[in-house]
Every structure is written in structure tokens, then in C-alpha cells.
Amino acid sequence: MQSDEIIHRGAFIEVKAIPFTIKDHKWQAKWEYVQRNNRPELRSIDMVCIIPTFKENSNEILVLTAMYRCSSEKIILSLPSGFVQDGDLVENSLDILYRKTGYLGKSEDVTILGTPTHSDPWKSNETIQYVKIKINQSLEENMGIRERDDSEMIKIETVPVHGLLESLFKLCQENDYLLDSRLYTLALGIEKKKCSNSNKIN
């Protein structure tokens, strides 16, 4: 069996070409894909995508990040996310939450959602684990101005979960943001659930 060919290797990712055959070995080709080259050993998850919320009066508020992405040449509105390093998944999630948003979370408020998913398997083998974190606003560390790693120049946005889809469209229009597909999918799911509930016959 032929091994993958490394076309390019950078600091964080590498581009590979994998040979494959189809139609009873009558057609041979190479498939190019991107792979993270610093994934910890024995770790099957590349990234954590966090759904962080807190209560404001009786409303559930979602915490988002707005960050410039060179590949899109635009600021992308998205859920906080980051590479998984060595160590416990819950600890990784709490560390990413703090570094990206400045909010301090507790392990008992972390819920791992389902199983890891493949974000874009046509061009990458990257896997993402979704995690929900309930932020305790009564903690002293979560009051007022929060310190965080600002090397990525992240702006924090907060929006109510109720009416999320409309709020995201408005926020993007007002600030010239682009919308991350994972956040858009979450908003669509919430909207669909709301519509389904409103159409129920009691």
C-alpha cells in the first residue's frame, strides 16, 4: 500500500496526497487533503467548538467571538473554538473558553455533546467535538472587564438565544461580519425547533 505524499508542511498544517483506485482498480487518482500536523498522540479530536451561555434575568445569552480570518479577508462571527492539546477534554474546553472570551468556567458546568464530527471531510480529516458550557455570572472573575489572551485580537459579542438567527443576520449586517457555518447551523436548528413547537396541536 502506498503511503500519503506530503506536498507541503507548515507550522500547523500539512497538505497531503493520498493515492486511491475505484471501479475495480480501473481508475487511479490522487486525493489532496489538509491535515493538522501537531495533533497530540492518541488524540482523535482536533478541535473543540464551544457553545457558551449565561443567564441574564430570564434570558439565555450566547457568547460569540468576532475574529479576522486571513483566508476570508473578513471578520468571522463564530462560536469560540480552539485546538485540543494534551490533557483532559473538559480542561481543554475551559482553557479555550477563557483564552478566547475571558470567561471563567467550572468543570461541573461543562457538557460534552454527542460524538466528534468531521467538519469538512472533502478537504480535511479534522474532527471537532462540540461542548456546552454554562457560565456562572455570579463568579467574581466573570464580573466587569475580563482579562484574556488578546494576541488574536478577538472581539466578544453576546446575543440572546431567543431569536438567534435574526440577531446574527443583524449583527453581521451592522458590522460587516461573515457568519461561520457552525454558528449558522446552530441558529437554524433553534429556529426549526421553535417553528415545530409553534405548529404543535395541543
- Domain residue spans of the chain: 5-36, 47-198
- At residue 78, the pLDDT reads 97
CATH architecture of 47-198: Alpha-Beta Complex (3.90)
Q: What does DSSP assign to residue 94? A: H
- At residue 201, the pLDDT reads 36
Q: Where are the beta strands (DSSP E) in the chain?
A: 5-9, 13-22, 27-36, 47-56, 59-69, 74-78, 81-83, 110-118, 127-134, 155-160, 178-179
How far is 100 from 48, CA to CA, in rounded Å? 12
Mean pLDDT, the chain, whole residue set: 87
Of 40-44, 118-122, 184-188, the poorest mean pLDDT is in 40-44
- At residue 199, the pLDDT reads 43
23 Cβ contact list (under 8 Å, min separation 6) = none
Neighbours of 159 (CB within 10 A): 19
- At residue 30, the pLDDT reads 86
Q: Is 51 exposed, middle or buried (0-12, 13-18, 19+ CB in 10 A)?
A: buried
